[in-house]
Structure 1
Amino acid sequence: MGEFVAAAVALLALAGRAAAHSGSLGGSVASATVPTWLTVLTGGVVVGGSFLFTTLLTDHDAMRGVNWWRLVVPTPTRLRRAMGPLVRALSVSVLLIVLVTGFVGPQEGVRNFALLVVWVGWWAGYTATTYLVGNSWPALNPWRAPLSALRWIRERRRAGGDGDAARDGGAEGEADPLVAGVSVPVSWGVWPAVVGLLALVWLEVVSPVGENPRLLAGVVLTYTLVAVAGSLLVGTAWFDRVDPISRVFAAYGRLAPIQYGADGSLSLRIPGTAPTEDPLPDRPGEVAFVVALLWVTTYDGLVATPTWAAAVEPVVEAGVPALAVYAGALLVGFGLFLGVYRLAARRVRETADTYVTARAIERWFAPALLPIAAGYHLAHFLGYFLGLVPALAAVVTSPFAPPAAPLALVLPGWFGSAKLLFVLVGHVLAIWVAHSLAFELFPGVLAAIRSQYPSVVVMVFYTMTSLWIITQPYGPPPFV
């Protein structure tokens, strides 16, 4: 199942565009330096071979031995409570500097603290840590600070000044909202986060938010006001079901070797194995969010290709507003990806000859898409991050008086080919996750293997198509 899921929903997402976020910071994701035909052929062979190899792995106990291995590392409660406010204060300070430097700092991209920190340090660098190390965003999230502070004050009053009775504001277990009676309808599930993610990516594509510090600061300020107000109204349900940024980091964090327990303990896992244990929660929009995470990467890349420019130019010249064209493509593409995913789940149900519902199959195999998303992100942004790290370091040390010409690294030519390796590793890991999930869901060996048969041809086809896209030259999206 997982191979078809990964292919049918997201493999076109290989096209990446770091320059969408870099703007005037310079540098874009260059085309792969290996020949297109070799890239396409190699990707198809690797994915097809990986599928054939995993079908030979039928020892369920051995797979569980790999997937369920962990080393629990308890963390002192007092230390966690002491560090929580300090970490949150640091993140709030960075947010404030981003706002100030965005509005009044230097407007040159490579000298502006806000642009470098948001796109290079946070979206490129920090995001990678959520799937390579662990999701620390619940503790760092500056938009949680007002809710945490007010909840801490309320708990201290209730406890009569007993500090130990106050809960850690960074914990995911924070419960009721501070304003009683306000909640996100259960029937909405996490669809608000899906809508938010699509809207953010559309805004990033159609506006100069990646190169205009004042516009970026305005967007960050608006997001801050909405997030703080929302969290105060509905509590931490805001970050679980509405806030798209928190949802993105939580999704990526499922892949990380460091997993956080509800009791505050840490467990070390083999990277990428945590998603093999649990399906997504049974809430509306959970599967759609994972699909959206993959689709926005596809969309962000496709609008920067010559093929997109050739397709959109006659439509805009015919009188259709460019913003409407970009919005329409975003929604239609997402609907197509989600529809293909759901169709694949129904086909797998027939192939496996199971009584498990198609809806349950959708939720069960959706985590197999996450390694692909992480592979895309690393391929797209690692070179971008490494190239601008010197400029980021120079500006961070002096945000209000940055050097006149911060340095940037020029990466060797072979690094463009390394992107393909990151992508293929993500696909291979996705195959392992899907294979493991199939053996957990379907009884017996034959049913688990049969459930993956329909995916073979589609997996190879979409992989080869996606690798073709990643070799295409970058071009700025037209008409925006």
Structure 2
Amino acid sequence: MVTTPRWRHAGRVALAVTLSLGASAGVATAHSGGLGGTGRDPIAVPMWLFLLTGGGVVGVSFLLASFVTDRRLIDAIHDWRRPLPTPGRLLRAAARLGALALLVAAVVVGYVGPGTGVRSLTILVVWVGWWGGYVATTYLVGNTWPTLNPFRTLAAPLPSLNRPYPDRLGAWPSVAGLLLLVWIEVMTPLADDPRLLATVLVAYTGVTLAGTVVVGEEAWFDRVDPLARAFRLYGYLAPLTVESGRLRLRLPGADLPETAFEGQDDVAFVVTLLFVTTYDGFVATGLWAGVARAVVGVGAPPTALYLGAYLAGAALFYLAYRASARFSRRGADTHLTATYLARRFAPALLPIAAGYHLAHNFSSVLVLAPTLSVVAAAPLSPPPSPPQLAGLPTWFGGLELACVLLGHLVAVWVAHATAYDVFPSRLQAVRSQYGVTAVMVGYTMLSLWIVAEPYVAPPFIAT
């Protein structure tokens, strides 16, 4: 039986997660907002009841999963595979060249093409076609980025100095790179300025090529490049995978329970990925707009406020997850360290990050995909005004909420299967999930609140 003090500690963990997310605010273009703004009908039930229901669904799913104690059944679910035809070299080469051509076109049109915002091919390709659409395929279908990556295509023929990569750095540069990319995004009008976005693409290409020349292609894309690492992790969730050179079909997230991260740098990257997927949505709420105006109104410099909140939010989010790992260790009463448990349960956060990414970009992709096709047909000609995202059908909002909940439900199952892979005792396996489940319940409620809130343009935005 779980004692009252442990439940109180679980509540503190959930509260810490909520506070960390609340602190993770900054000034943001919020690409969906920058692409026209979003609108949704208010929910028909009181917000508190809506949020409690969502958190309750996750809690109940944990209780239901706890009844699945047959290890052979769990293993059979995650070991299921079906072979599929593997694409030939010609098809892969054509896809690689197509991705490279699209990058070149986005840069060129960004400098010479007309229009701003969703009138620009560069903006639509990057934010709608790539960030909204393609990124979703890495966890819904399979990670094709190793084949399509245009930056790697450019780096492949270059000579390399093959300087030894410092092992002490681990994957921390990719964590810093991910934070830096999002910071650039939120502090500049990348969702509205094609020339600026093209410049960022050129700069990213230059840094990538320089890095591969110094430390080698494998080391750079494996441990430094944030995009390659994010898509590789999302690929663990996808139903398609490549094993021993063959394409295979599996159940979504089947490999996550047996995925063991090597160090805290990997854990930090997953937590940061989760943090930044929530970040754009949070800063586009009325609550943040009011807080930011009030703080800046008493004399605080906007940049210092946003940077401080951004870094503090990332740190608190990481510390909250580590606290849940320590609670899991106490609940399981195990000799395993909290650091080890943090590495083992971190993959369970990936379905949450994927679900929120899909919810955050779903409506933008559906509404603006026709505009992308029109602009792609005549990239240098001013297209007609694009449709606005305001007034989306109610079912759009319902699907966004469903994406959030589905991601959390998958995460609960992954955590359950992970616990049974780690602990020999069934009671230990169940108790070890208390900490991560408390995190998921708190995060579910916050995520649902963000998705259900009307879009509010972030104040003090860069223009």
What is the deviation of 1:456?
5.2
User: What is the deviation of 1:277?
Assistant: 2.1
Change over 3 Å in CA distance of 1:186–1:325 after alignment to 2: same
Deviant stretches of 4+, over 6 Å: 3-8, 10-19
Secondary structure in structure 1 of the residue aligned to 2:249: strand
Q: Are 1:250 and 2:261 matched, yes or no?
A: no
State the alpha-carbon separation in 1 of the partners of residues 252 and 164 from structure 2: 35
Distance across 1 between alignment mates of 2:28 and 2:299: 30
Counterpart code for 2:62? F
Aligned to 2:308: 328
Distance in 2 between residues matched to 1:130 and 1:447, nearest whole Å = 34
Matching residue within 66, 69, 74 for 2:77: 66
Aligned to 2:412: 431
Paired residue for 2:157?
Answer: 149
Q: Render the CA deviation track for 1:43-74: whole Å, top value 9, x for unaligned.
A: 02211110110111101110111111111336
Return the letter of the residue paired with 2:72. Answer: D
- Asked whether the equivalents of residues 47 and 428 of structure 1 are also in contact (C-alpha less than 8 Å), the reply is yes
State the partner residue of 2:114.
Answer: 106
Could you tell me how far 1:39 is from its partner in structure 2? Answer: 2.0
SS at match of 1:414: helix
* Conserved 8 A contact 1:10-1:369: no
Matches within 5 A, 1:10-159: 20-22=30-32, 25-28=35-38, 30=40, 33-35=43-45, 36-73=47-84, 75=86, 79-80=88-89, 82-150=90-158
Q: 1:420 to 1:399 in 2, by over 3 A?
A: same
Matches within 5 A, 1:245-324: 245-261=227-243, 263-280=244-261, 282-324=262-304
**More deviation in 445-454 or 30-39?**
30-39
Tell me the secondary structure at the aligned position of residue 213 of structure 2. Answer: helix
Shift of 1:284: 4.6
Report the Cα distance in structure 2 between the residues aligned to 1:202 and 1:190, rounded to whole angstroms: 19
Q: TM-score, normalised by structure 2?
A: 0.89
Q: Equivalences for 1:141-180 in 2 at 5 Å?
A: 141-150=149-158, 178-180=159-161
Q: Is the 8 A contact 1:11 1:462 kept in 2?
A: no
CA shift for structure 1 position 106: 1.1
- The alignment-based identity, stated in percent, is 50
Residue ranges of structure 1 left out of the alignment (5+ in a row): 151-177
Deviation at 1:243, TM superposition (A): 1.0
Does the 8 Å contact 1:29/1:384 carry over to 2?
Answer: no
Change in 2 beyond 3 A, CA 1:6/1:429: farther
CA contact under 8 A between 2:325 and 2:436: conserved in structure 1? no
The number of residue pairs the alignment matches comes to 446
On the 8 A contact 2:28/2:283 being kept in 1, the answer is no
Residue 452 (structure 1) aligns with: 433
Question: Could you say what secondary structure the match of 1:236 adopts?
Answer: helix
Report the Cα distance in structure 1 between the residues aligned to 2:137 and 2:151, rounded to whole angstroms: 19
**Residue pair 1:196, 1:244 contacting (<8 A) in 2 also:** yes
CA deviation after TM superposition for structure 1 residue 324, in Å = 1.9
Aligned twin of 1:162: none
Structure 1 contact 74–264 (Cα < 8 Å) conserved: no
Alpha-carbon offset, residue 249 of structure 1? 1.0
AA of the residue aligned to 2:330: E
| 1:202 has 2:183 as partner | yes
Letter in 2 for 1:357: T
Helix, strand or coil: the match of 1:443? coil
SS in 2 for 1:71: strand
Deviations 1:283-327 (Å, cap 9, x if unpaired)?
Answer: 451000000001112222222222222222233234332122111
Aligned counterparts of 1:457 and 1:399: Cα–Cα separation in 2: 49
Distance in 2 of aligned mates of 1:332 and 1:29 = 30
In the TM superposition, what is the alpha-carbon distance from 1:464 to its structure 2 partner?
Answer: 2.7
CA–CA distance in 2 between the matches of 1:256 and 1:71? 14
Counterparts in 2 of 1:458 and 1:230: CA distance versus 1, 3 Å = closer
2:448 corresponds to which residue?
A: 467
CA deviations over 1:248-293 (Å, ceiling 9, x no partner): 11111110000123x421111011222122222x145100000000
- Structural RMSD (CA): 2.7
Instruction: Give the counterpart of 1:348 among 328, 339, 342.
Output: 328
* Deviation at residue 411 of structure 1 after TM alignment: 4.0
Partners of 1:248 and 1:32 in 2: how far apart? 33
User: Is residue 116–residue 392 contact of structure 1 (8 Å, CA) maintained in 2?
Assistant: yes
Query: Structure 1 residues 379, 34: CA separation in 2 closer, same or farther (over 3 Å shift)?
Result: farther
Residue 9 of structure 1: CA displacement?
5.3
Other-structure match for 1:166: none
Aligned amino acid, residue 422 of structure 1: C
Mapped partners of 1:478, 1:135: distance in 2:
36
Aligned residue for 2:395?
414
**1:193 is matched with which residue?**
174
Whether the 8 Å contact between 2:175 and 2:265 is mirrored in structure 1 is yes
Residue 96 of structure 1 deviates from its aligned partner by 0.9
Per the normalisation by structure 1, the TM-score is 0.86
Tell me the residue number matched to 1:232. 213
Contact 1:132–1:257 (CA under 8 A) maintained in structure 2? yes
